[in-house]
Structure 1
Amino acid sequence: MHISKFNAEGYPDPTAAEALENIIREEIAKGRKPCVFICSPYAGDIKRNTINAKRYLKFAVNESAIPFAPHLLYPQVLDDSDPVQRRLGLFFGMVWLCKCDELWVFGSNISPGMAAEIDKAKRRHIPIRYFTENCDEVERI
C-alpha cells in the first residue's frame, strides 16, 4: 500500500506518513512483498516490447516484489488499435497504479502512456524507481 505524505484535506502530514512507512518497512522485513507497477513501452514494436515487459516482470519477482503490468494483460481482451478500447485499458491501468506501492520505469524511451503513468504516480506521491532496459537501477524518487 502506498503512503501519502498528505492528510485527507491535502495538508502535509510527515509525522503520520513516516510512522506508516516504518510499519510497512517492518512488514516487508517480515516477508511482505511490495506491489510494483511495471511501466515500459508497449506500442510500436509490440513483439519486442512484450518480451521486454515479461523480462521486467521476472526481474521484479526476483527482487521479491509482486509486479503488475497492465500492458501485458489488457491487450489480451481489448483492441489496442481501437482508440476507445485503448483509453479504457489505460484507465484500468491507472486504477491499478494507485493501488501499488511503487512505480518501476524501465528504459529511456518514455512513451505517452508511460509519461501519463509517471505523472499520475508523482501526483499521488507514489515512489518511482527508474531502471535501464538491462534492469540496472539509475534513479529513485
Structure 2
Amino acid sequence: MGIDKKNHEGYLDKTAHDAIRNIQREEKAADKKAAYLPLVYVCSPYAGDIETNTEKAKKYSRFAMDQGTIPVTPHLLYPQFMDDTNKDEREKAMHFNYVLLGKCKEVWVFGGVITHGMAREISIARKRHMVIRWFTQDMKEVEEYA
C-alpha cells in the first residue's frame, strides 16, 4: 500500500509523507527484531548411554528454546537416519554438524563431560571466535569446565 504524497486537499505534502513512511519503516524493523531468535548449537554427549544422552539432549534443547533461542541439536536429528557406528556415515554426520555450527550465533555446552566429538565441535567454535556458554547437566550456567 503506497502513501499518498498529497494531502486531502490535493496539495503536495512531502513532510507528512516522509513522516508516515519513517513510522512504517520503524514498525517493520521492530517487528523483525521481535521475531528474531538466535540459533544456538547444543553440544552435549551422545555416545555411550545413547538412550539417556538423547533424553538429556531433548531437555537441553527445550531449555535453550525456553531461553528465547532456536536450538540446533544435530545428535537428535542425524541418528534418525544415519548409522553412528558406520565410520563413513559418522564422519559425514560430523561434517553436517560443523556446517550447522557455522550458522549458529553461540554454542551451549551441556553435561560437564566433554566427549571426543564435543571437543572437535568446541575447537571449531573457538577457531571461529564464537560465544561458548557452559552448563551443568542440571542446566546451571558455569565457567568453562576444568
Q: The TM-score by the shorter chain falls in which range?
A: 0.7 to 0.9
Write the distance in 1 (CA, Å) between the matches of 2:31 and 2:121: 26
Letter in 2 for 1:82: N
Write the distance in 2 (CA, Å) between the matches of 1:114 and 1:133: 15
Q: Which runs of 4+ in 1 moved over 2 A?
A: 26-31
Given the alignment, which residue of 73, 85, 92 partners 2:89?
A: 85
The alpha-carbon deviation at position 28 of structure 1 amounts to 9.2
Given the alignment, which residue of 33, 36, 60 partners 1:32?
A: 36
Write the distance in 2 (CA, Å) between the matches of 1:104 and 1:55: 13
- In our comparison, the structure showing a higher alpha carbon Rg is 2
The alpha-carbon deviation at position 88 of structure 1 amounts to 0.6
The alpha-carbon deviation at position 84 of structure 1 amounts to 0.7
The alpha-carbon deviation at position 77 of structure 1 amounts to 1.0
The answer to whether the Cα contact below 8 Å between 1:107 and 1:132 also exists between their aligned partners in 2 is: yes
Which sections of structure 1, spanning at least 5 residues, go unmatched?
Answer: 1-25
Q: Is 1:66–2:73 an aligned residue pair?
A: no
Q: Is 1:126–2:137 an aligned residue pair?
A: no
The alpha-carbon deviation at position 29 of structure 1 amounts to 6.5
Write the distance in 2 (CA, Å) between the matches of 1:85 and 1:68: 19
Write the distance in 2 (CA, Å) between the matches of 1:28 and 1:46: 38
TM-score (norm 2): 0.74
Instruction: Pick which of 131-140 and 115-124 moved more.
Output: 131-140
Equivalenced residues, count: 115
Give the percent of matched residue pairs that are identical in Structure 1 and Structure 2: 48
The alpha-carbon deviation at position 50 of structure 1 amounts to 0.2
Q: Is 1:94–2:88 an aligned residue pair?
A: no
Q: Give the aligned partner of residue 53 of structure 1.
A: 57
The answer to whether the Cα contact below 8 Å between 1:107 and 1:133 also exists between their aligned partners in 2 is: yes
TM-score (norm 1): 0.77
The answer to whether the Cα contact below 8 Å between 1:28 and 1:34 also exists between their aligned partners in 2 is: no
- Higher RCO, 1 vs 2 (CA within 8 Å, ≥6 residues apart): 1
Residues 42-61 of structure 1, C-alpha deviation per residue, up to 9 Å, x if partnerless? 01000000000000000001
Q: Give the aligned partner of residue 109 of structure 2.
A: 105
* Pair 1:90–1:27, CA change in 2 (3 A): farther
The alpha-carbon deviation at position 30 of structure 1 amounts to 3.6
